[in-house]
Amino acid sequence: MSSAVIPPGNARHRSRPSKLPSLTGLRFFAALLVFFFHSSLSNSPIPPNKPINPFADSTLAHLYEKTFVSTGYMGVSFFFVLSGFVLAWSARPGERITSFWRRRITKIFPNHLVVAAAVVVLFAGAAITGVSQWLPNLLLIHTFFPQASVNLSLNPPTWSLGSELLFYLLFPLLIVPIRRLRGGALWAWAAVMVAGTVAVQLVSTYLVPDTPKSAITPISDQQFWFGYLFPPGRLFEFVLGTLLARIVLAGRWPRQLGIAFSLLLVAVGYGATYLVPFQYTFVTATIVPIGLLIAAVADSDARSRSTWLSSRPMVWLGEVSFGFYLVQGVTIFYLRTLLGGEAFSTPVALLVVALFFAASLLAGWLLYRFVEMPAMRRFARSRRRPAPVVEPAVPAQRVAPAPAVEKELT
């Protein structure tokens, strides 16, 4: 295996703008979709499994849950495509694999371990019953286990980190052949990745046991695990993101596929989740609109077109969105336990949802400010001084710094 993540790129790639502020701002809305999904749940996935949805009005409670029934799936799919896009966009020519892995592991593990400890403390250990459940979670290999007591243990949202860890480990291998693709081959392979998401659900439907049925989904626990949680099945989204980044970097993104058109397709894709079989709401119904939106926003940034997503408040929200995503399950489920299992009148229920949001955002900022950033400053780079390298003084050939959007949400 080569010691470098990617070989040096050509001048055309290096001349591209490095920052993608609008894409940073956009990822907060993906985290917000997951928030609304969690706050609309009928039951908490963490013991004592009390109702989360705060509305006493049964019609409103049903409407709230029905409206956001698939937004969690959509938000996570966005993150997976975004991860591939950002890593391909910001890949540092000549970077050693060990340096890449160091930065990515530092990005996710400190936050993950702190939130896992909070779960154990706040829920008095009710979220774990044995080492076979919590140890795989701490190591982020828990989603390779089909048992629901393992793959959704401790802090349920961390199941996605298991997939992210696999992406990081494989990226140095995947980016080499992807860098060699040119022209129409990029689009062809992007179509193959979309088809791959369909293939995963076909296998889940016809080859994975459909009994016993899950208590919370219309499919079996085994099918939910294979079609949604199993990390290898999510590689198609990640690779699609890397291919889209290559398309934008190569200047091959069609200008007619702009942000407004992509947002319209996102709405259409989400509407399709109410029509397709349940398994296809995980990824397939929305993967094309998600990919188009990410690429369109990045292309706008690359052309130095300012959007409201690139404003300082939105960029800040995007930067804390990883922490916001990671802690929202704990804050929502714990606050709901403190409030008891009863439902509330509509005005009070709206205030409860606002409380969930404010607490999650505050906790996410604290995690970003006092855990993620100090860890990245202390451990993301080797403390050994690199040997000096003599380079020719050709400014146009120098590598641009890694984009700010590299702090992607996992």
pLDDT tens-digit series, residues 138-154: 999 999 999 988 998 88
Region 244-253: mean pLDDT is 94
The structure's pTM equals: 0.90
Helix (H) or strand (E) holding 301: helix 287-302
Q: Which two tokens stand for residue 5?
A: 């993540």
User: Of 70, 46, 68, whose CA–CA distance to 55 is shortest?
Assistant: 68
Compute how many other C-beta atoms are within 10 angstroms of the C-beta atom of residue 377.
Answer: 10
Rounded Cα distance, 137 and 196, in Å: 27
Q: Is the pLDDT of residue 320 over 60?
A: yes
Rounded Cα distance, 168 and 83, in Å: 9
Q: Which two tokens stand for residue 400?
A: 């641009």
Rounded Cα distance, 158 and 153, in Å: 9
Lowest mean pLDDT among 21-30, 208-217, 221-230, 243-252: 208-217
Q: What is the SS3 assignment for 213?
A: strand
> What is residue 91's predicted lDDT score, i.e. its pLDDT?
86
Compute how many other C-beta atoms are within 10 angstroms of the C-beta atom of residue 216.
Answer: 12
Rounded Cα distance, 404 and 91, in Å: 12
Q: Do 409 and 79 meet the contact criterion of CB atoms below 8 Å apart?
A: yes
* Backbone phi, psi, residue 96, to 5°: -75, 145
Lowest mean pLDDT among 49-53, 147-151, 389-393: 389-393
Mean pLDDT of the chain: 88
How many residues are given for the chain? 410
336-351 confidence digits (pLDDT tens): 888 887 899 999 999 9
